[in-house]
């Protein structure tokens, strides 16, 4: 009868032999030149070079959600360990899944495009936001679904890269490796730090309906239901008709004449002036025939109100344009492009200057 020591040794040897056989079986698996090239290319990428991992670096600023899904489909098929026998295929496949998990989520992609760091990394995100003077705008929606560091909504499920692959091809796109894109309900992945992959919404060929909704759809429509559905249309026609009847069909308020400011433009040649700001405006004299002094004084006030409103809108547009130029002057690494900053500082803001000159608050 063999001793316990020798038995344990034999068992250990058998386990090691099986492990070697398993590893050798993996090593004997083949891969095509294209699959090998894909694995080597992806492993040369940085862990957070998500566009480069999916092969979208050249079009990162213009690629759409559909382009990202197509890129994931291509790269995941090339690197999937069940189809690619390369020894590093599993690592490349995880990098592809990670890249799609970030770029496939609209909010995470915006953060990555803005800061250039992993949106789920506490340290990297905090450091990028601290070095960017406009980082406060990036967290405006921090309380929304999937916001924060790995936070998810109440519908979140943790899934592995393999599950992501299976659901992508079999669940949401109509069949294994054969489904088309942009059909059926969309889904968004949210990868939450070290807790694994999360998915907010997954679906098959169509959204599941609640039993109550199905029962309501099967209920026959009555005449009362039809009347209720037509009420908005009835009100739309009845109210104007009643207003016209009670007012006798007469227009009680005179129509405001067309006007231009600062310079005449025929037939708007009759010059008048606003009461407080003393801004010249011009109207068609034929449109104010028979007007008394009170109506003309009211017209002057309306002209001034409209002038201030239009000038304020133009000033706001100038301020937004200047702020956009300033934002573009800041680089990803926290530096400043002096040429672009000079253009932003020299941007002409004529409407804002005129408001200041007239003493009108912005």
Lowest mean pLDDT among 33-37, 243-247, 301-305: 243-247
What confidence tier does 249 reach under pLDDT thresholds 50, 70, 90?
very low
Cβ pair 179, 169 in contact under 8 A = yes
Burial (0-12, 13-18, 19+ Cβ within 10 Å), 357: exposed
Closest CA to 98 of 31, 165, 26: 165
What confidence tier does 285 reach under pLDDT thresholds 50, 70, 90?
very high
DSSP state of 340: H
Cβ pair 67, 88 in contact under 8 A = no
Cβ pair 129, 115 in contact under 8 A = yes
CA distances from 266 to 41, 216, 299 (A): 68, 63, 19
Residue 259: which H helix or E strand, with range?
Answer: strand 259-261
pLDDT at 200 over 50: no
Give the chain's radius of gyration (CA, Å).
Answer: 34
Q: Tell me what the pLDDT averaged over the chain comes to.
A: 74
Is 0.75 surpassed by the pTM of this model?
no
pLDDT for position 118: 82
């Amino acid at each position: 009868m063999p001793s316990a020591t020798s038995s344990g040794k034999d068992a250990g040897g058998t386990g090691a032999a099986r492990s070697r056989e398993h590893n050798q079986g993996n090593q004997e698996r083949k891969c095509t030149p294209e699959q090998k090239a894909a694995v080597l290319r992806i492993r040369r990428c940085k862990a957070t070079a998500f566009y480069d991992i999916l092969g979208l670096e050249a079009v990162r600023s213009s690629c759409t959600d559909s382009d990202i899904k197509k890129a994931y489909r291509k790269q995941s098929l090339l690197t999937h360990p069940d189809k690619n026998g390369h020894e590093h295929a599993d690592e490349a496949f995880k990098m592809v899944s990670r890249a799609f998990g970030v770029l496939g989520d609209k909010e995470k992609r915006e953060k990555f495009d803005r800061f250039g760091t992993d949106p789920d990394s506490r340290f990297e995100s905090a450091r990028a936001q601290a070095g960017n003077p406009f980082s406060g705008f990036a967290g405006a929606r921090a309380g929304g679904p999937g916001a924060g560091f790995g936070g998810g909504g109440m519908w979140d499920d943790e899934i592995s890269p393999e599950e992501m692959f299976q659901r992508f091809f079999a669940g949401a796109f109509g069949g294994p490796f054969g489904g088309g894109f942009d059909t059926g309900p969309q889904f968004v992945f949210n990868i939450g730090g070290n807790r694994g992959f999360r998915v907010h919404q997954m679906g098959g060929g169509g959204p599941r309906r609640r039993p109550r909704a199905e029962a309501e759809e099967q209920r026959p429509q009555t005449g009362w239901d039809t009347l209720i559905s037509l009420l908005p249309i009835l009100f739309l026609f009845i109210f104007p008709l009643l207003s016209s009847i009670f007012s006798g069909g007469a227009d009680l308020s005179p129509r405001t004449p067309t006007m231009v400011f600062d310079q005449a433009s025929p037939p708007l040649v009759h010059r008048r002036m606003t009461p407080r700001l003393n801004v010249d405006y011009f109207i068609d004299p034929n449109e104010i025939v028979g007007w008394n002094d009170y109506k003309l004084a009211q017209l002057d006030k309306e002209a001034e109100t409209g002038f201030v409103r239009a000038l304020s809108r133009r000033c706001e547009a100038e301020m937004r344009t200047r702020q956009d130029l300033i934002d573009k002057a800041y680089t990803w690494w926290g530096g400043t492009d002096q040429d672009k900053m000079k253009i932003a500082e020299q941007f002409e803001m004529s409407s804002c200057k005129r408001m200041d000159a007239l003493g009108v608050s912005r």
